[in-house]
Amino acid sequence: MKKTILIIALALSGTTLFAQDAGQKEKVTKYVTTFPNGEEAITITDRSSAESLKLASADNFYKYEILDSSNHELVHGSDNRGKVCDIDKSKLEEGTYTLKVYTADFVITSDITIANEAEGVIQ
């Protein structure tokens, strides 16, 4: 009898969790900046459920900077090694920014817009 009740309880809780997840779809937004030849230079991916943005570059980059687009002041930046890094979204308020990615040969620039923090998405 105890096993039957336990099995029923587990089955119902699994169904309830599945129903909650099905109603909350994750929003994924990507920014892609290309080289003049059309190849991808950098990609910025934001998953609404994640606490950070994912920055990926075609080439290794040694740092990135996020600048306020209105006055070009540095808002956030970090050194990097490799082609990928995560950017903490809590460092950015709602607004439009200029992202600069520094490689050994060039600087890749892209504009990004951070949407309402409560929604946790990029537009």
pLDDT tens, residue by residue, 26-80: 788 888 988 888 889 999 998 878 888 899 999 999 999 999 988 989 999 999 9
Q: Is the pLDDT of residue 19 over 90?
A: no
Q: Quick one: average pLDDT of 87-91?
A: 87
Cβ atoms of 44 and 27 within 8 Å: the answer is no
E strands, 1-123, are 28-34, 40-47, 52-57, 61-68, 74-79, 84-88, 95-103, 107-114
Q: Quick one: average pLDDT of 91-111?
A: 90
> CATH fold of 25-114, please?
Immunoglobulin-like (2.60.40)
Tell me, what's the pLDDT at 78?
A: 93
From residue 45, alpha-carbon distances to 26, 49, 105, 112, 118 in Å are: 13, 12, 24, 11, 18
Q: Is the pLDDT of residue 24 over 80?
A: no
